[in-house]
């Protein structure tokens, strides 16, 4: 799953945003499950990037709903 920057998120449609949000949330849950079961992630920075990308998408969804 790709990490999206702010300008990329702004270019997505509402449907794309919701799809990407669900995919990223699923990946984040899987990463947390692996860590909590005692496993080590291949890339620990990936969790941080996932959380930031989810926040970018949620911010864009909120700003579009208030317009």
Domains and CATH numbers, the chain: 6-66 (1.10.287.310)
Task: Give residue-wise pLDDT tens across range 37-62.
Answer: 988 878 889 999 999 999 999 999 99
Q: At what angle do helices 45-66 and 14-36 cross, to 10 degrees?
A: 150
Q: What's the start-to-end Cα distance of the chain, in Å?
A: 29
Q: Is the pLDDT higher at 14 or at 42?
A: 14
Cα 43 to Cα 1, 49, 50, 64: the distances in Å are: 13, 10, 12, 33
- The answer to whether the beta carbons of residues 3 and 46 sit under 8 Å apart is no
Residue 1 has pLDDT above 70, yes or no: no
Both tokens of 11, joined, read 């270019």
């Amino acid at each position: 799953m790709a990490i999206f920057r702010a300008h990329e998120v702004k270019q997505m449609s509402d449907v794309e945003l919701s799809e990407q949000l669900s995919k990223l949330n699923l990946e984040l849950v899987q990463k947390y499950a692996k860590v909590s079961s005692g496993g080590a992630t291949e890339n620990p920075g990936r969790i941080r990037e996932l959380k930031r990308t989810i926040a970018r998408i949620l911010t864009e969804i909120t700003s579009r709903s208030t317009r």
